Amino acid sequence: MDTNELNAPGYEIPPEVQGQVAITTLDRIYNWGRRASVWPMMFGLACCAIEMICTAASRFDLARFGMEIMRPSPRQSDLMIVSGTVTKKMVPIIVRLYNQMPEPKYVLAMGACASGGGPFKEGYNVVSGIDKFIPVDVYVPGCPPTPQALLNGLMKIQEKISGEHWRTSRWYQKGGDQAEIPIPILGPDLIDPRKVEEYSRRLAESEA
């Protein structure tokens, strides 16, 4: 955040102290700090992960956004970049990793596969988008999104963080959102515990 933005909180500063004091709101300074130090999880799934690594590497340099510290541990990261095809065999692990991330946490679906299934959507082992299991904040289309497209998506995440308010943001409310997401089960096919009733209903319907 540049000084102009910091100095203009929407309150009038008397001319005699201009340039000497900075007034800001708690939200602004808090969000400014948060959005300039988003730590993504070092977590690659498929082809898109290669472009994610390129984004972090020499040419595009994620460090310019304060995101260079890619943490392999979910406990230390704020952002999950779901970079690639989500398969049924992998989804229990992804959900578990998401549960382990501390709040506030964000999810960026990188590429067609993570956003909506992608070219492999019709496959029997492929999940049609990670948003069926965990909440996604930003979707980046492309197959794969180029590093610049990913950076554009990361800036959208920053934009989203800036727009949050500590009183209304879902992370600081009681209840609901913080509940752990039940881990899907690998049975004869992938079973989402949240949907078993729906499955039974639909099975009964289609048999009738």
Using CB under 8 A as the binding rule, the residues of this chain from 96 to 115 that contact other proteins are: 97, 112, 115
- Binding to ligand SF4 by residue 40, rule CB under 6 A? no
Which of 159, 158, 152 is closest to 55 using CA atoms? 152
- Binding to ligand SF4 by residue 54, rule CB under 6 A? no
- Binding to other proteins by residue 1, rule CB under 8 A? no
Binding mask 130-149 for ligand SF4 (x = CB under 6 A): -------------xx-----
Interface region with ligand SF4, contact rule CB under 6 A, candidates 28-36, 112-120, 125-133, 178-186: 112-120
Q: Which residues pair with 81 in a beta bridge?
A: 108
Please tell me whether the peptide bond between 182 and the residue prior to it is cis, using omega within 30 degrees of 0: no
Question: Mutual orientation of helices 47-56 and 147-162 as an angle, nearest 10°?
Answer: 70
CB of 85 to ligand SF4, least distance (A): 5
CA distance 64 to 68: 8
CB of 9 to other proteins, least distance (A): 25
CB of 113 to ligand SF4, least distance (A): 3
CA distance 40 to 22: 31
Among 23, 66, 160, 172, binds other proteins (CB under 8 A): 160
State both tokens at 168. 């209304």
DSSP 5: H
Beta strands in the chain, from DSSP E residues, in sequence order = 79-83, 106-110, 138-140, 185-186, 190-191
Binding mask 53-72 for other proteins (x = CB under 8 A): -x--xxxxx--x-------x
Among 52, 101, 126, 134, binds other proteins (CB under 8 A): 126
CA distance 104 to 151: 20
Residues that bind ligand SF4 (CB under 6 A): 46-48, 84-85, 111-113, 118-119, 143-144
